[in-house]
């Protein structure tokens, strides 16, 4: 307990309070923090780059998370069969989720999706001309979403473990009643899996807000082209550690905490309507 308490106060709770205070100040690391009240927050909402970073991040969370989870669930259901070679598939699909956020993969992604790179050229064979990916502001978001979806293995493994817990008698009973695949999926799999779906949704949503390394590497730390990869955390980094506007960045950090907190509360609230816990009536 003692080390956790020390860590909690020195490195989590204390810094949170400090960052809340700093968010009301003008602080460049060198002089003393100068109290400016709500000025940082007012400036933020008048800052077009800040608005852009919210747009980029929201789009990424709203598109990337559901696609990734759908892919994870679909593949988990395929892996829930009794077939040979499942161990191989499971490992092969899981591996990317360990490295997707690394600088190495960001470099590989950039090299694959660079204009006229392997992805571009491969699509051209099929007559698809997209006008590049890395240098095309309309295609950078699909590229980042593909990177997120590629790492579907993490939630997939959790879905798979959840599917193994669904009693097979339920499916057998439904078959006797003449239920087809779609009905079985809607009426048994989804409700039985809802606690796991909730867990994955919460974790992946929170995780999606925090993409950094890949955005930093692929855009060269700029968030370009045309701000299309200016993810929230990248902009926070640019303001805080690029321009040393620590107060401004702290205000951003607190808005992120509030946003994530609100989304968590909303998800928990909504979960009462759609998450079914087995054996207890919470």
Site residues for other proteins, window 210-239 (CB under 8 A)? 210, 212-213, 216-217, 220, 233, 236-237
Asked whether the beta carbons of 208 and 226 are under 8 A apart, the reply is no
Q: How far is the CB of 65 from other proteins (least distance, A)?
A: 15
Residue 253 within binding range of other proteins, rule CB under 8 A: yes
Q: How far is the CB of 184 from other proteins (least distance, A)?
A: 17
Residue 171 within binding range of other proteins, rule CB under 8 A: no
Residue 173 within binding range of other proteins, rule CB under 8 A: no
Helix ranges (DSSP H) in 80-224: 86-99, 103-113, 118-125, 140-150, 153-165, 168-176, 181-184, 190-208, 213-218
Binding other proteins (rule: CB under 8 A), the pick from 141, 188, 260, 276 is 260
Residue 32 within binding range of other proteins, rule CB under 8 A: no
Residue 270 within binding range of other proteins, rule CB under 8 A: no
> Which residue stretch of 10-18, 36-44, 128-136, 168-176 sits at the interface with other proteins (rule: CB under 8 A)?
10-18
Q: How far is the CB of 122 from other proteins (least distance, A)?
A: 5
DSSP characters for 186-205? Answer: IIIIHHHHHHHHHHHHHHHH
Closest CA to 44 of 260, 259, 263, 249: 249
Q: How far is the CB of 83 from other proteins (least distance, A)?
A: 6
d(CA 128, CA 279): 52
Token pair of 180, please?
A: 């087809």
Tally the residues of the chain.
282
C-beta closer to other proteins: residue 114 or 141: 114
C-beta closer to other proteins: residue 140 or 254: 254
What residues does 25 pair with on adjacent strands?
Answer: 35
Q: How far is the CB of 137 from other proteins (least distance, A)?
A: 20
From the CB of residue 139, how many other CB atoms can be counted at a distance below 10 Å?
A: 20
Q: Pick out residues in 86-125 that bind other proteins (CB under 8 A).
A: 88-96, 98-99, 101-105, 107-109, 111-112, 114, 116-118, 121-122, 125
Residue 132 within binding range of other proteins, rule CB under 8 A: no
Q: How far is the CB of 166 from other proteins (least distance, A)?
A: 12
**Cα-based distances in Å from 171 to 168, 179, 259, 280:** 5, 9, 40, 21
Residue 34, helix vs strand vs coil: strand
Residue 266 within binding range of other proteins, rule CB under 8 A: no
Q: Pick out residues in 151-170 that bind other proteins (CB under 8 A).
A: 153-155, 157-158, 160-162, 165
List CB contacts of 151: < 8 A, sequence separation 6 or more: 68, 96, 97, 100, 101
Residue 133 within binding range of other proteins, rule CB under 8 A: no
- In three-state form (DSSP H/G/I as H, E/B as E, the rest C), the secondary structure along 204-222 is HHHHHCCCCHHHHHHCCCC
Q: Pick out residues in 35-74 that bind other proteins (CB under 8 A).
A: none
């Amino acid at each position: 307990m003692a080390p956790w308490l020390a860590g909690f106060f020195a490195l989590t709770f204390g810094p949170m309070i400090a960052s809340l205070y700093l968010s009301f100040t003008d602080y460049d690391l060198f002089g003393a923090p100068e109290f400016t009240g709500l000025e940082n927050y007012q400036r933020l909402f008048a800052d077009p780059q800040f608005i852009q970073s919210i747009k980029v991040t929201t789009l990424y969370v709203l598109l990337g998370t559901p696609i990734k989870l759908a892919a994870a669930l679909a593949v988990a259901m395929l892996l829930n069969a009794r077939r040979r070679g499942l161990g191989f598939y499971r490992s092969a699909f899981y591996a990317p989720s360990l490295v997707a956020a690394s600088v190495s993969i960001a470099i590989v992604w950039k090299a694959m999706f660079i204009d006229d790179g392997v992805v571009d050229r491969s699509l051209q064979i099929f007559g698809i001309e997209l006008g590049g990916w890395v240098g095309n502001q309309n295609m950078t978001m699909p590229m980042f979403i593909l990177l997120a979806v590629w790492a579907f293995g993490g939630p997939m493994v959790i879905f798979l473990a959840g599917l193994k817990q669904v009693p097979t008698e339920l499916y057998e009973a439904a078959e006797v009643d003449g239920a087809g695949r779609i009905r079985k999926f809607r009426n048994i799999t989804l409700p039985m899996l809802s606690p796991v779906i909730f867990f994955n949704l919460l974790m992946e949503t929170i995780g999606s807000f925090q993409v950094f390394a890949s955005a930093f590497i692929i855009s060269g730390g700029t968030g370009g082209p045309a701000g299309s990869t200016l993810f929230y955390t990248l902009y926070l980094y640019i303001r805080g550690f690029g321009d040393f506007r620590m107060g401004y960045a702290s205000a951003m950090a607190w808005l992120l905490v509030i946003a994530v907190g609100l989304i968590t509360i909303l998800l928990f609230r909504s979960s009462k309507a759609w998450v079914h816990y087995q054996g207890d009536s919470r």
